[in-house]
Amino acid sequence: MANIRDLRQRITSVGNIQKITRAMEMVATTKLRRFQGRTVDAKPYGEELENLVQGLSGAVASEPAAAGEAAALFQQGSTDKPLGILVVGSDRGLCGAYNTNVFRKLSEMLENLQGEYVLYVIGRKAQKEALRRELNIKAYLEDFDLESSSFGKAAGIANMLVNDFRKGNLSGVALCATKFRTMVRYEATFDPFLPIAPAVDNEEVSVNAEPILEPSGPQVLGNLIPRYLETRIYHALLEAITSEYASRRFAMKNATDAAGDMKKDLTRLYNRARQAKITQEISEIVSGAEAL
């Protein structure tokens, strides 16, 4: 039978851990709701912008000059150059299998990748995991904090990727991050970013409609495409931090529940040990009385 004092100490320790995990769960829930609101608010704008770009880019396949200054972003880069991959992980731990899921998706895509690759990594935990797996890291964006991400910071990342692609350093660019689905579900994804694939058929905006553009079409696309790419990065970062807190909330809830179950089991053992000790003491008293 376990020592009563040890059981009492373990019950106290587990109770303290339970208080900590419950507090962390509450913090994660609060931040999750805040970032979820920002993600939901930004989503309609991103979808409309994507529909607009896809609709206007239909003519680019047959006439690259129609994209103006952004024409290079529709053309495949040199095949002998590596694929650039922006990997978005977490800065902090205690978020369950969040980073594991991101790198599982990355590993699946790298196994089928033809050619070389380089990684642009966001998140300290993601950086450690990439180093542990001995992956080819080109840049670690250590100064970028997902919690304080803004459109301006996202635009800086987008411009860095676009510039590397324009210079011919990359054959293309892809995003490996997470998409927020619900409060209890997120999904690791691997999406192409550059070059931009012109729409083949788009129900939202008809390619044959010949919309009237002012100024000219090439000038509109030349100014619109950079904003579109910046918006895609910004929304990807918002979804990533929202998914991270969804995973952290779920992990802390499981930890709190597990601590509660452990505390019940330890309390049951403690009560049994205490009862056994009391029974033993009564038996000793009875035995002593009979001896007299």
Rounded to 5°, the CA angle 269-275-280 comes to: 125
Q: What is the mean pLDDT of residues 158-184?
A: 92
Q: Residue 217: its pLDDT value, please?
A: 61
pLDDT reading at 207 higher than 50: no
Q: Residue 33: its pLDDT value, please?
A: 92
More confidently predicted of 193 and 56: 193
Q: Where residue 209 falls among pLDDT bands split at 50, 70, 90? A: very low
Helix (H) or strand (E) holding 48: helix 4-56
Domain layout of the chain by residue ranges: 33-251
Q: Where residue 206 falls among pLDDT bands split at 50, 70, 90? A: very low
Q: Where residue 202 falls among pLDDT bands split at 50, 70, 90? A: very low
* Mean of per-residue pLDDT scores for the chain: 86
Domain made up of 33-251: CATH architecture: 3-Layer(aba) Sandwich (3.40)
Q: Where residue 14 falls among pLDDT bands split at 50, 70, 90? A: very high
Q: Which residues of 238-266 are buried (b: 16+ CB within 10 A; e: fewer)?
A: bbbbbbbbbbbbbbbbebbeebeebbeeb
CB-based contacts of 37: which residues, under 8 Å, 6+ apart? none
pLDDT in tens, 58-115: 666 556 666 667 778 888 888 889 999 999 999 998 999 999 999 999 999 999 888 8
Backbone angles phi, psi at 88, to 5 degrees: -110, 110
Most confident of 45-49, 77-81, 236-240: 236-240
Q: Residue 58: its pLDDT value, please?
A: 64
SS3 state of residue 177: strand
Percent of the chain with pLDDT over 90: 53
